[in-house]
Structure 1
Amino acid sequence: MPRRQPTSVLSPSTDTDPKTPPDGKPAIAGDEPLPRRRLVFGIVAMALFMASVDQTVVATALAAIQRDLGASIEWSGWTITIYSLGQVLVLPLAGKFADMFGRRRVFLAAAALFTVASLCCGLAHNIALLVVLRAIQSIGGGSFLPAASGLVADHFGRNRDRALGMFTSIFPIGGIVGPILGGIFVTYWSWRGIFLVNVPIGAVLIILGLIFLPKGHRTPGKSIDVYGLILLGMLILGTMLGVTHLGNSNGSVLSVGFLVPEAIAATSLVLFLRHAARGRAPFIPMNLLRGRGFGVMNLINFLQGAAAIGFGALVPLYAESRYDIPTLQAGTLLTARAVGMICVAGLATFALRRTGYRPPMTIGFSLLIVGMVATAIGAPQGITPFLWLSIASGVCGVGMGLALPAANNAILQLAPDQVAGISGMRGMFRQGGSIMAVSIATAIIARSSDHGMTLGHIFIGFGCLMVLVLPLIYKVPEHRGGW
């Protein structure tokens, strides 16, 4: 018998075209009036915007959460990292569930879970409960994108590519609004407002979804690689627990609280790699982990996630602790970075066919290094700290806007027939890098007496990580033209 080839939960959807569903009847979604399709897009865009805001809004409120709940900084940082971890694990599952049970049903379930978890987060009175609730919230937030993508693809017919392309503009906007919104709530009310504001929005979203979202069709599902996802979760969670323990005053690398979680993480890593190489249907096949070009791009994505995403999550805390910049102003530093990204990302994308991937990645990551170092060394005489940090954040944003389109396409062109799977894996490595960076950084801060200066030294370390990325860029397979 021929050997069965590994398949991936993250692989491109096997849905039939909306115009020719399994029952042979003509699809109605693609033929519906434009206002109806716009309404569907508006509903799913609202959900994606709400989830994207929650990725950045907590960074602004981190210091306030720590003070109000009497928590240590390393455990407060878990409110950021656990949300990223939950999304890494739920994305492949949500995609399969959306195929198996229907996009509308999964979308509404995600909206309900996200809304209820947000309400509970806003009412939490200790850090442990808040971390658990943030994990639950991440399940809802991470389920939005696969379900929303399926709904739009089913409903827009031939125009699905344009509609899905518009999703990419939602997340940078969330990156702009999130920090400002967090600063406003913390300044004029409470950090609890960053969660409670989701409740009325989520309620409206559910009502609109029940009324206007199409039911669509289901696709018989293949097996879900739950074993692989559990191993990945144990790997990341074990590493986080061990690193967090080092932030305690009595923590050490020889203590049980460090050695046991790290041993679990190491064992999970070995089993995960073995499963990827030999499993019947791993959600990430081994050829996507270390095949031609994939190994170096996965390493670049991990280091970029650790340095750039981890750096962004800690900038507001740095501004508050080192320069006593008010929370609202500290949050706008992330807005400056998002604006810098938006200003150049579109132009960089259109220029890729002429420039190739390596030059924009080299220039972009170099600018990111400059911005990180400038943030860490402090403002020169004659310039206010807020203005200097705003300029540095803007430089970081421009660097990311240049580098990310090239990095995204550099890995996608390695296997154009597996775009969905590669996109999910790319996000997994970037989020995994940010989780590790924030966990390690907050553990180091917890052991220091001057959080601001310590964060400055950590940002220098992030810059050094990006220096390591520069020579790796020239191992990336170059390509010009479309793929």
Structure 2
Amino acid sequence: MPTPTSANPYKVAAVVMIGSFMSVLDGTIINVAVPALQNYYASADGVLPAYSSVAWTITGYALATAAIIPLTDYGLKRIGHRWMYIGSILLFTVASVACALAPSLGALIALRVIQGLCGGCIMPVGTALVASVAGARLGRMMSLMGIPMLIAPVIGPVLGGWLVEVASWHWVFLINVPFGLAAAGLGLLLLPRAAGTGAVPLDRLGVLLMSPGLALVLWGVSNAGYGTALTSPVVWAPLLLGLVMVALFVRRSLTLEHPLLDLTILRLRPYRTAILLAVAFQAAFTADLLLLPSYFQQVRGMGAMATGMFIAPTGLGALVTMPVAASMIDRLAPRRVIPWGVGTMFLSLLLLSQVGAGTSLWYLAAIMTLQGLGIGGTMMPVSTAALQAVPRREVGNATTLFNIGQQVFGAVGIAIVSVALALLLAATDLGAATVAGELSGATLEVGRQEAAGAFACAFRVPTVLMGLALFLAFRLPAVRVVPTTPGP
């Protein structure tokens, strides 16, 4: 029976890339289908369901994704990488079909939660799977993992809009079927057959504290991001309760012999620095991804297709630097590689904080390309630096913690920039009305100028967060960390 390290890492990475692409695509493609869902699930008398109700198809998925992540390391140890990954893919595919057939909005929301529980396993399990077979080529393998993470968010809204226009919203979910079947089928053929360790104790109280606690934190943060006042109980109550539950989980984990997540791994300074850098980068990146499409559509008046085309240079730039950075991170110290990528990303955000209503589109395309160069030089090299710092037997645990940090702080970045943009637009005379599409003629031009100013100021939020990431990049190890061999 082949061991994980004897498998062909490129074949394993190819399988994982298909599943990862499907998972990331599903998180972005549904956003443009919300109006179509409102029309489809209208009552018999033609009353549309509230946008906030339909938005739970997105929020419920995100909360479920966060809630399941803490259990992925336990699943890896219990049943192994191969069946954990294939099972997650198959269940996700079945849930996608069920979503397309949902008879009511309530059923769709419930099915999206189930889909999120399956989808939340795909990325961390896939990352752990690739890391287990990568050996000394960890950086190159992680760079391949980064390709779907860069491409899917760019084409997701464009593909979703096209499917809704030429077919129906059902295909937003049915598009997952060919990807899911391909990933599962190839997984059966190509993934290593090493099994899990079998009898692994489950910290049940830890599950009851961490998974719901993490979901509550994200729920409170998401409510703030939707524009709900910070003093509202739907913001501070779940946030406070979730933080208390997570704090209790942390206290329990530090004293338990077999915790759900081994937090002592954070005592490794290189790993701790890498994960702090990753969450700062993720918060800035997700805030940037929220602002860019809104700026192009609501300030510059572009459609979804044109917006996707202008954001596309980001992915192209990343594809240029990603293989270069991956090769370098396998040979050089993290401090000699990662600051260049973070610094480039910081520069692009600094330039975006100066945009106006009439900024040259060629100039913006150049900024998008520059941003892509920074993303490709940062995203996966940071993941590699984190995993290089831990023993191979701790890869599953390290990957789980890494994904939890990114999930939480990605939502935090969106919430912060959403609140900031809403406040900035409210402080203008015509900016908010422009974004809402309520103006025309001469007043529209004035409104666009004011709205552009608000967006420029809002871009300072991810700029500051990326500045923090840049500071942390210079705290990474100055010597190359050699990946440790598998432990007992």
TM over 0.5: yes
Q: Deviations over 1:10-66 (max 9, x none)?
A: xxxxxxxx4479xxxxxxx97xxx9xx999886665333322332443466678778
1:265 Cα deviation after fit: 2.0
2:90 to 94, 98, 112: 112
Alignment match, 1:279: 256
| Shift in CA distance, 144/286, structure 1 to aligned 2, threshold 3 Å | closer
The whole-number CA distance in structure 2 between the counterparts of 1:165 and 1:274 is: 37
Contact 1:316 1:330 in 2 (8 A): yes
Which residue type is aligned with residue 436 of structure 1?
V
Match of 1:138 in 2: 116
Q: How does 1:115-126 map to 2 (within 5 A)?
A: 115-122=93-100
Deviates more, 1:320-329 or 1:225-234: 225-234
- Please tell me whether residue 228 in structure 1 is matched to residue 203 in structure 2: no
- Cα displacement (A) at 1:308: 1.1
8 Å contact 1:53–1:175 — kept in the other structure?
no
> Residue 193 of structure 1: which of 146, 153, 171 is its match?
171
| 1:220-255 deviation line (CA, Å, top 9, x unaligned) | 131233433443333333233334444678x54444
Deviation of 1:141 after TM superposition, in Å, equals 2.4
- Rounded Cα–Cα distance in structure 2 between residues aligned with 1:47 and 1:58: 17
Q: How much identity, in percent, do the aligned residues show?
A: 24
* Matched positions, count: 449
What are the ranges of 5 or more consecutive residues in structure 1 without an aligned counterpart?
A: 1-17, 22-28
Output the CA distance in 2 between the equivalents of 1:124 and 1:443. 33
What's the counterpart of residue 458 of structure 2? 458
1:421: which partner in 2?
397
Match of 1:301? Answer: 278
State the 1:183 CA deviation. Answer: 1.0
Any conservation in 2 of the 1:311–1:459 contact (CA below 8 Å)? yes
Task: Provide the residue aligned with 2:477 in structure 1.
Answer: 477
Q: Distance in 2 between matches of 1:183 and 1:129?
A: 26
| Alignment partner of 1:369 is 2:341 | no
Matches within 5 A, 1:239-318: 239-246=217-224, 251-318=228-295
What are the superposed Cα offsets for residues 334-382 of structure 1, whole Å, 9 maximum, x if unpaired?
A: 4322222221122123234776323443332232122224334335857
Residue 53 of structure 1: aligned partner: 25
Shift of 1:278: 1.4
The AA in structure 1 aligned to 2:360 is I
Report the Cα offset of residue 274 of structure 1: 0.7
**How far apart are residue 91 of structure 1 and its match?**
4.2
Residues 411-466 of structure 1 show CA distances to partners (whole Å, capped at 9, x for unaligned) of: 33433443343233222212221022224444566775355655544322111111
Residues 219 and 316 from structure 1, CA distance in 2 versus in 1: closer, same or farther, beyond 3 angstroms?
same
**CA deviation digits over 1:300-352, x for unaligned, max 9?**
22211111134225532442222221112222344322222221122123234
Using the alignment, how far apart are the partners of 1:238 and 1:58 within structure 2? 22
2:316 aligns to what?
339
Cα distance in structure 2, aligned partners of 1:362 and 1:99: 35
Taking the aligned partners of 1:425 and 1:439, their CA distance within structure 2 comes to 21
What is the TM-score with the length of structure 2 in the denominator? 0.74
2 CA distance for matches of 1:206 and 1:406? 27
Query: In structure 2, what residue type is equivalent to 1:277?
Result: L
| CA gap 1:259/1:195 in 2 versus in 1, 3 angstroms | same
- CA distance, structure 1, for counterparts of residue 82 and residue 316 of structure 2: 33
Distance in 2 (alpha carbons) for counterparts of 1:55 and 1:80: 8
The answer to whether the 8 A contact 1:45-1:167 is kept is no
Query: Is the deviation greater in 208-217 or in 391-400?
Result: 208-217
Distance, in Å, in 2 between the alignment partners of 1:455 and 1:380 is 10
Sort the Cα spacing of 1:455 and 1:71 in 2 relative to 1 into closer, same or farther, 3 A.
farther
Q: Which residue of 1 aligns with 2:325?
A: 348
8 A Cα contact 1:244 1:443, kept in partner: no
In 1: Cα distance, 2:413 partner to 2:254 partner: 27
What is the TM-score with the length of structure 1 in the denominator? 0.74
In 2: Cα distance, 1:215 partner to 1:293 partner: 31
Q: Residue type matched to 1:260 in 2?
A: A
1:172 pairs, out of 144, 147, 153, with: 147
SS at structure 2 position matched to 1:260? helix
CA–CA separation in structure 2 for the residues paired with 1:271 and 1:440: 26
The SS at the match of 1:46 is: helix
1:93 and 2:71 equivalent?
A: yes
- Whole-angstrom CA distance in 1 between matches of 2:462 and 2:120: 27
Match of 2:407?
A: 431
Distance in 1, Cα, partners of 2:77 & 2:276: 31
Aligned pair in 2 of structure 1 residues 211, 372: CA closer, same or farther (>3 Å)? closer
* Higher mean C-alpha deviation, range 197-206 or range 317-326: 197-206
In structure 2, the gaps of 5 or more residues are 42-47, 427-431, 436-450, 484-488
